[in-house]
Structure 1
Amino acid sequence: MDPTTNVPLENMANSDAPKTFSVADYLVFGSLFLVSALIGLFFAIRDRNKKTSEDYLLAGRKMSGWPVALSLTASFMSAITVLGTPAEVYRYGTMFWWFFVAYTLVAIITANVFVPIFYNMGISSTYEYLERRFSKPVRVAGTCAFILQTVLYMGMVMYMPALALNKVTGLSLTVSIVVTALVCTFYTTIGGMKAVVWNDVVQCFVMWIGFTAIIVKGSMDVGGFAKVFEIASEGGRIDFWHFDLDPRVRHSFWSVTIGGTLMWLSVYAINQSMVQRYLSCRSLYQAKMSLYLNDVGLFFVISLASIAGLVMYAVYANCDPLANGDVDKSDQLVPYLVLDILSVAPGIPGIFVASAYSGTLSTVSTGINSLACSTYEDLIKPFKPNISGERALTISKVLVVVYGLLGLGVAYLASLMDRILTMALKMFGIIGGPMLGIFCLGLFTPVGNSCGALVGLFGGLTMGIWMGIGSTLYHPADEFIRLLPVTTANCTSALTSAAFNVTSAPEPLVPTGGLIDSLYALSYCHYSTFLVLFTWGLGLLVSLLTGGIGSRRNVMQDLLAFPGDICCCLATTGCACGKKKTGYVGASQKDDFIIDQSDLSS
């Protein structure tokens, strides 16, 4: 028994013989693939007479809110969340928990600003808004940015469960990644959006069970739930009180809530993967309800993941597997914990690996479905408008297969990176931030024009890529990161060396304080904050320099976030609100106020 934590020493070190999957584990794990395939087959057979791309890609716009809510939650709970969030709390503490505030703000803003506009327009692709508000080139540019972001993200989430299987069972990364890609592609291709959503419902519950298994067994091993929090508190892991205003601080209340809100708005408010599911709901009320129910689900997700991280710290408080050389990357910590504490009960490791895979199956199937929809609606249909329903359905299925295989290739690149959670969230800012910036230009700034949108988007993407590369090459000072200390003092593994048998933390670097260094040191949470404002501001400036929208175009009420006199105040120059124009096809049937842009040019 360790005198400082009262944790049994046998739980601190891992000198037992390597543990592997039992037959029961393989049966539990394999059942996930079987159920996923059967759900896809069920909807393929039931909807075999429905031969339009809308039925396939949008479930005929007849979904109810609660399965869509669970689908949104499951897609959020990718393997990056299952494996990355507990490791985040283990290494950096509970400041990550404040993200639940950001999720709530995102749900409120998305439900009341973005969803009504998109839903009432009757569109299939989010980026159709960009064409109606600006021009076709802006729509194409937005679609290409979305495709790049989603393919990269899918590659990351395919790699994560492959890592889990490799660590727990020894199955090769290559086989694991290939299996993931093929299963997702199979049931998404044959079952469409309905198969994606209902698989997500099943997978959501599987992920909750996986987290619960870790929490219950880990707590029992260290002496109870109260003991977990006692050990975590002594180790500095429970800390919610950092209110630094410095945007370089990795996690403070302000960086997580403000930066996190804008980061996740770029996902929930405008990303085709998410918006496509709101658009599949049978009414605007159901679409809004799905967001609010999803917020409740996300609260449970982040709570379970964070508690799992505290449990992991309690188990390894005196023998850090990363410092001890038992694992190579922080993303391997959770699989290692499962290998260490859950293998005593056959079938339980299988549940955890199934939960990690559930997150990936959900995220990847949603991704390839939305990529197919966006590619067909934004890049093919506008140039080939007379494609028959059956041919459109065939094209959509081919696109699903193509993107599934493309994600498979990108997955190998993810294996070269550490801290996948941070890299994935940073990518949301690098690409999602500029995308949200041009939507804000369209929704909130009537003078925004096509030229401003294009320059703003490409300028924002260029700035984001530059910041991402710079932050990778030039790491921020440790005073902004707050990596908490660990120890290997009580390890008994043969891998332990004398040099590690002390509490260790990285030596802090001395920041130079220069502007460029500060930009590279910007918290990943604030990537979206900076890039949304940069893109929006650049787009507005270019729009004003190029004459606003021009005297020949009108901006309809349904394309703006604010009605009447409020939008006039945001126009920055005089405008005559109150004129009416009938809504376009797919919009609500009420008359729409418009802004007469002839007044903007005066």
Structure 2
Amino acid sequence: MNLPLIIVVCYIIGLFAISIYARKLAAKGSENFILAGRKLTTPLIAVTVTGLAIGGASTIGVAERAYNVGLAAGWYNVAWGLGAIVMGVVAAAKYRKLNISTVPELFERFYDVKGHIICVLSQIVILLVITSLQYVAGGAILASLLPNIFTLKTGMIMSAVVFIGITFIGGMWSAGLSNILNVALIYVGTIFAAISTLTSQGGLNNIALKLPADVAYLHPIKGLGLGIIMGWCAVMVTQTMSLQATVQIACGAKSEKQAKKGFIIGGLMMIPIGFLAALMGIAAKVAYPDISATMALPKIIMSLNPIMAGITLAALWAADVSTACNLLLGTSTLFSQDIYKRFINPNVDDNKFMIISKITVIFLGLLTFGLSLTIVGILKTLLVALSLTTAFTVTFLFTIFAPGLCRKNSAFYTMIVGISVLVLWQLFPQIRIFSHVIYLEWIACIGTFLLVAVLDSVKTVDLDRTKEVA
């Protein structure tokens, strides 16, 4: 009897059962599909944000990094949690009050069409990259969980089928309701797996004796250094305030108060998982010193008893499902709302718009699967992509808190500079005067916004409304 297979099949059945129920809610209109009818309560926001954060990067990616640098890799989830808390305190209620659906919609409302266009294209690129990473992690999980059934590639294909299917059926309602199951499974599986792993290897002290001496594996900071950890925090605080996937959750809240509380609770919930994944990555370094780092977490869990292994790896896959569904939905919304409805067919009726949104989910799901076949290094790729959100966040913060400095061209030129900095950082190593590109992004984007305020006399069209929001 293949217990891990039975557990995974039961989990998949549960997901699709939830999605079929969610379909009834999503069928009431396009806003129900993309924003859950703006009826997400505090608990649903908390688990949806947590599910978005705890994906392949927060589990497989953290263990992959911990396999090489140690416990410090767990700070990735702390950074995510800090970002969600800051989003809750500073921005979530503001987004809900604006009553928008997407970040580019905000850019056009307060700036201009060219700001809208460059924003939507950049957001789509970022989300495509992040979504692609989930297939890599999902494939690694299934290949380790069921090696006689899945290879890495076929595991990625199976992940794609579930990711796309869940999102297609119920949209935001699927993402929110399925995350109740996902987050519960993640916590139960990860906690028990970490305890079982440490116990089976004779405890943390015994593991420490067998680790290579050239890396401070059990030090909370030294494996990475404070500069890199601070860079992670800067990236995550930046992206949570302007990435479409997080903004869409805030926009779907039932009220401003529930948006704020949901993000704060979600941020607190996601923090412990990173260090638990890091501990298992460290244990894998001792038990399997010669395997691929990406396979560190799946491999160590498969050394546990079949029931525990099945539950835990199903939990890791649940993390992937929860993240990928939100990302796919966010990307689909950007295309359908900010490209199709805005420029191709402005007068589209609600039923046809729902169909377009669902077709877009399938198309973008297949596109991201193709992209995933070229990606290596989960955390490194993710953090570079997320750095581009700096321009969005800077623009949003000025719009809400300093509207007097906003000019019609501010969003466009800030985005151009943000993209340019990222491209130059990749092409010319000599400009890397900071430990992470995010620092240079903040300096360049703030400087650009202020410079435009000085040189451009044309203020934003909707400045009075902006003042009301602030």
Partners of 1:31 and 1:363 in 2: how far apart? 20
Max Rg structure = 1
Match of 2:138 in 1: 161
Asked if residue 422 in structure 1 is aligned to residue 330 in structure 2, the reply is no
Partners of 1:109 and 1:73 in 2: how far apart? 14
Q: For residue 463 of structure 1, what is the amino acid of its counterpart?
A: V
Change (3 A) 1:104 1:336: closer
Alignment of 1:50-449 (within 5 A): 50-99=27-76, 102-103=79-80, 105-168=82-145, 169-170=147-148, 171-224=150-203, 227-228=206-207, 236-240=216-220, 251-257=224-230, 259-313=231-285, 315-316=286-287, 321-322=289-290, 327=291, 329-339=292-302, 341-342=303-304, 345-383=305-343, 384-414=345-375, 417=376, 419-429=377-387, 431-445=388-402, 446-449=404-407
Runs of 5+ consecutive residues of structure 1 not aligned to the other structure: 1-21, 243-249, 472-514, 561-582, 593-602
Match of 2:408 in 1: 450
Higher relative contact order (CA 8 A, sep 6+): 2
Change (3 A) 1:251 1:443: farther
Alignment of 1:533-544 (within 5 A): 533-544=443-454
Partners of 2:419 and 2:15 in 1: how far apart? 37
Change (3 A) 1:559 1:106: farther
Partners of 1:236 and 1:251 in 2: how far apart? 9
C-alpha deviation, 1:140, in angstroms: 1.8
Change (3 A) 1:83 1:226: same
C-alpha deviation, 1:197, in angstroms: 1.0
C-alpha deviation, 1:273, in angstroms: 0.6
Q: For residue 335 of structure 1, what is the amino acid of its counterpart?
A: P
Q: Are the equivalent residues in 2 in contact too, given 1:437–1:457 (CA < 8 A)? A: no
Asked if residue 559 in structure 1 is aligned to residue 466 in structure 2, the reply is yes
Q: For residue 404 of structure 1, what is the amino acid of its counterpart?
A: G
C-alpha deviation, 1:87, in angstroms: 2.9
Higher helix share: 2
Q: Are the equivalent residues in 2 in contact too, given 1:440–1:536 (CA < 8 A)? A: no
Q: 1:546 aligns with which of 456, 460, 465?
A: 456
C-alpha deviation, 1:287, in angstroms: 0.7
C-alpha deviation, 1:227, in angstroms: 4.5
Q: Are the equivalent residues in 2 in contact too, given 1:218–1:312 (CA < 8 A)? A: no
C-alpha deviation, 1:461, in angstroms: 0.8
The Cα offsets for residues 199-241 of structure 1, whole Å up to 9 and x where unpaired, read as 1221122222332343122222222356556767977322246
How many residues are matched? 465
C-alpha deviation, 1:144, in angstroms: 0.9
C-alpha deviation, 1:529, in angstroms: 2.3
Partners of 2:395 and 2:426 in 1: how far apart? 20
Partners of 1:451 and 1:84 in 2: how far apart? 38
Change (3 A) 1:101 1:338: closer
Partners of 2:44 and 2:357 in 1: how far apart? 23
Change (3 A) 1:47 1:448: closer
Match of 1:476 in 2: none
The Cα offsets for residues 34-84 of structure 1, whole Å up to 9 and x where unpaired, read as 11111111222x337x43211111111112111221111111111222112
Q: For residue 357 of structure 2, what is the amino acid of its counterpart?
A: S
Q: Are the equivalent residues in 2 in contact too, given 1:52–1:392 (CA < 8 A)? A: no
Runs of 5+ consecutive residues of structure 2 not aligned to the other structure: none
Partners of 1:216 and 1:101 in 2: how far apart? 20
Q: 2:441 aligns with which of 527, 531, 538?
A: 531
3-state secondary structure, aligned to 2:216: coil
Partners of 2:455 and 2:224 in 1: how far apart? 38
Identity among equivalent positions (%) equals: 19
Match of 1:41 in 2: 20
C-alpha deviation, 1:332, in angstroms: 1.7
The Cα offsets for residues 508-556 of structure 1, whole Å up to 9 and x where unpaired, read as xxxxxxx53x44xx43xx3222212212212322342233528xx4623
Q: Are the equivalent residues in 1 in contact too, given 2:74–2:277 (CA < 8 A)? A: no
RMSD of equivalent CA atoms: 2.7
Partners of 2:337 and 2:392 in 1: how far apart? 18
